[in-house]
Amino acid sequence: MFLSAGPDRPADPDDVWVVKQTLNMNGYYPVPDYGLTPFPDRPLFDGIRQYQRDHGLQVDGIMKPGGETEQHMQENLATKAPTFRCISCGAWHGGSKGKLCPDCWSKLYS
């Protein structure tokens, strides 16, 4: 699902977006004045650290693939996380594993 990044590590923009959305929906990432971007920022790493503190994980602000923080988030926040990006509108949506969101589907096939 998530972010292979820390403050000095490369990150996939889609992973950053999903982590920010997931943290935001769970109260760990307040969207900054400049908006929600697919790029790592200080509020993202602060949110990761707070999540780690609140859940008794190692507090380092880093999420490694298959690591403790990623696994914990997947187990505990997966039902709230956006699950796919619509190939038509590009928005993240939850509750389905399709390639088109319901809005784009209805526009194309109704």
| Out of 7-11, 29-33, 41-45, 47-51, least confident range | 7-11
Q: Are 67 and 3 in contact (CB under 8 A)?
A: no
pLDDT score for 50 = 96
Average pLDDT over residues 69-88: 71
Looking at mean pLDDT, say which of 2-11, 63-72, 89-98 comes out highest. Answer: 63-72
Residues 6+ apart with CB under 8 A from 73: 1, 2, 19, 22, 51, 63, 81
34-57 pLDDT tens trace: 888 888 999 999 999 999 999 999
Q: Per the confidence metrics, is the pTM higher than 0.75? A: no
